[in-house]
Every structure is written in structure tokens, then in C-alpha cells.
Amino acid sequence: MPAKIPATVVTGFLGAGKTTLIRHMLEHAEGKRIALIINEFGDLGVDGDILKGCGDETCTEDDIMELSNGCICCTVADDFIPTMEKLLDRETPPDHIVIETSGLALPQPLVRAFNWPGISTKVTVDGVVTVVDGRAVTDGRFAHSVEAVDAQRKLDENLDHETPLSELFEDQIACADMIVVNKSDLLEAGQADALRATLKADARAGVQVVTSTMGALPVDVLLGQGVGAEGDLDARHEVHHHHHHDDDHHDHDDHDHAHEHHHAHDHHHHEHGHDEFESFVVERGEIADPAAFAAQVADVIRAHDILRLKGFAAIEGKPMRLTLQAVGPRVDTYFDRPFGTDARTTRLVVIGQAGLDHTAITAALQA
């Protein structure tokens, strides 16, 4: 059976920077065929037009589809499923699907739609990315223009008009696999760090929180989270209860938040700005115990806030090379092919937000 096509759901309030982030991603897709599904309303197709003008040769009009207005729970069979099927039935299906939500609908029902028969065997939710307006959240407004958000809500009878934005925001955070604190150019020094720490404490354990300006994130960081979000919906409580389908909801239980340790040296490095990402390579010799090494890698990732770590390892006594891929502290390993004539070394690429402690990370991975 062919591998499932990964789909990333991008959510966040009006004006948070979803379109800007997606546009940056399409411009830096490096040959990856990304199809885009946009769910918007009352917006006269503005986002689609912006993206259609993106000028990237790998990004053609055919790769952009629009979902009609309305609540995803009600329109899933007539709209979402046919749109997905059209994409999947193409001669050259996309490598990755990105779905931009309208931002006011809850992300959970959209993720749930991936469990639909016929879809669940072909596509999986790679991850939910929640884009937040760092300035607005720091100011307690949650959106750049609360009036504009309210106007958008009034246009859609399917949306509930009562719930405060703070609660919808909690829903978006509860559903996220990655939170992007955007507009960090509008934050003062220290505010981005403070917001990142707060959101990390509010989000589920292991959720990555990154900062960006103009949604400029490496595609490697944004895509390829490999979460399978449709399979762990129960963990993504809807704080705010949608007016339909109350039977879908689960009681909210307290979960332990993984409070991150903040090391003094982090602050030093963060002075150089929050927006840049960096990567570097660590090499080492053969490894005796692959399971112990995977655990060691997970520890290093946790200690240093590494976003991605991937590469190959040489294992003593094994002719095959071990492929290692980590998203946050989840480390996957498998033997992919014999080294053959290639040098038997271990080579790992480390990716994170600028300010990684190269010396300490290198030492910890070589230990």
C-alpha cells in the first residue's frame, strides 16, 4: 500500500499571518509538490488570489482549491471529501497537502474529518500548525483587529457568536502540534521569550513553539511532523464546545504540563533575535547500542530545544546504516540500506531556532 499523503492544517485568527506563512513555504518548497486547500468565507477569494500570484513554478493554480463556507461537520461529505478525492485521484498526487482554515472554525472538526472512510487510508494529518499574532496575544487581544474578527463571525451563521476570543484561542492552542508566534518583529526583547514559555506551558506536552517574522520558517520545520493528529483527537480537547455534536466531546481532565527548564544560557543566545533558524552537522564514530543512542538523542533534544534532528548512524557489527529522524523528542530509527563503499560514520543534522549551543550539543551527541 502506498504511503499516506501528509496534510498539514494551518489555523489561527484573521490577520495572524497564515497566508504570509503559507506563501513563504510555497516559495521555499524546494521541489516538493504542495497542494493547498483554503477554507475561507466572506473574503472574496482574496487569499487564493495572493497565493496564485506567488510566481513559483512548482505552485500552479491547479494546486490551490477552495472549500466553501460553512461548518466542516455539516459540509464534510459534500465539500471536504470530494475536494480531497479530486486531489488524491490526480495522476501526480501532491507530496504534501496544506489546509488553511478560516481561523474561527475550530480546528478539531477538520482533523476529525480525516477519519472519514476512503480518506483515512490515503491521507494523514501530519500536524496542526497554529499561527498566533505575537503582538496581539501579548496585549491580551488575541487578534490584530477584534472588530474584523467579529465582523467575520457575523458573516457566517454556522459560527457561534458568543464565545470570547480567548476561549477560541485556547481551542487553537489545545489542538496545535506546533505553535508559531508570528510578528515577533513587533515584540520587544524578552516578550517573545515570555510568550513562548507561556504557550509552551499551555500546550500539550512536546508541542513545539517557534517565533517568526512574516511566517519565515524552514519548510523542514513546518512540514514532516508525522503526528497523525486524526488518531489522537482525544488529547486535543475542545475547551469551547461547538454548538453541534455535543456527543463528540469529552470531559476536560487536567493534564500535566511539561514545564520546560529554562537555562540561563538560553537568554544569552536569544539576544540575537528570534526569527532565524539554523542547522549544523555533528559527526561521530560507530555506536554500540542504537536504542541507548536514540534515548540519548531524545535527551539532548529536550535539553536544547532542538526542532529537528536527522541523519544516519553506523552501528557496530551492522552492515546497514541506521536512519534517525527526530521531531522534537520523538526519535524514529530504522535500518535503511547497507553502507556499501560509503564511510561508516555517524552524521546528524541538527535544526533549531538560532542560538543553539553548538558546543554543548556536539559534546552531548558525541558522548
Q: Which residues are at the interface with ligand GTP (CB under 6 A)?
A: 12, 14-20, 47, 103, 182-183, 185-186, 213-215
| CB-nearer residue toward ligand GTP: 10 or 348 | 10
> Do 269 and 356 contact (CB within 8 A), yes or no?
yes
Compute the least distance from the CB of residue 337 to ligand GTP, in Å: 41
- Helix (H) or strand (E) holding 137, with range, is helix 134-138
| CB-nearer residue toward ligand GTP: 148 or 235 | 148
Q: How far is CA 191 from the centre of its chain?
A: 22
Compute the least distance from the CB of residue 12 to ligand GTP, in Å: 5
Q: How far is CA 101 from the centre of its chain?
A: 13
Compute the least distance from the CB of residue 221 to ligand GTP, in Å: 16
| CB-nearer residue toward ligand GTP: 105 or 365 | 105
Instruction: Give DSSP secondary structure letters for 41-65.
Output: -SSTTHHHHHHHTT--TT--GGGEE
| CB-nearer residue toward ligand GTP: 20 or 362 | 20
| CB-nearer residue toward ligand GTP: 54 or 214 | 214
Compute the least distance from the CB of residue 80 to ligand GTP, in Å: 19
> Do 130 and 208 contact (CB within 8 A), yes or no?
no
Strand runs (DSSP E) across 285-319, as ranges? Answer: 308-314
Task: List phi, psi (to 5°) of 332.
Answer: -110, 135
| CB-nearer residue toward ligand GTP: 130 or 208 | 130
> Do 344 and 287 contact (CB within 8 A), yes or no?
no
Torsion of CA 284, 288, 293, 296, to 10 degrees: -80
- Helix (H) or strand (E) holding 157, with range, is none
CB atoms within 10 A of CB 209: 24
Its sign, for the CA torsion 184, 189, 191, 194, is positive
Compute the least distance from the CB of residue 15 to ligand GTP, in Å: 4
| CB-nearer residue toward ligand GTP: 15 or 329 | 15
Compute the least distance from the CB of residue 131 to ligand GTP, in Å: 6
Which of 188, 175, 153, 335 is CA-nearest to residue 239?
175
CA distances for 124 relative to 3, 114, 221, 292, angstroms: 10, 7, 18, 30
Compute the least distance from the CB of residue 106 to ligand GTP, in Å: 15
> Do 128 and 233 contact (CB within 8 A), yes or no?
no
Compute the least distance from the CB of residue 43 to ligand GTP, in Å: 7
| CB-nearer residue toward ligand GTP: 17 or 94 | 17
Start-to-end CA distance of the chain, whole Å, equals 40
| CB-nearer residue toward ligand GTP: 39 or 346 | 39
Compute the least distance from the CB of residue 304 to ligand GTP, in Å: 25
* Rounded CA separation 264/243 (Å): 46
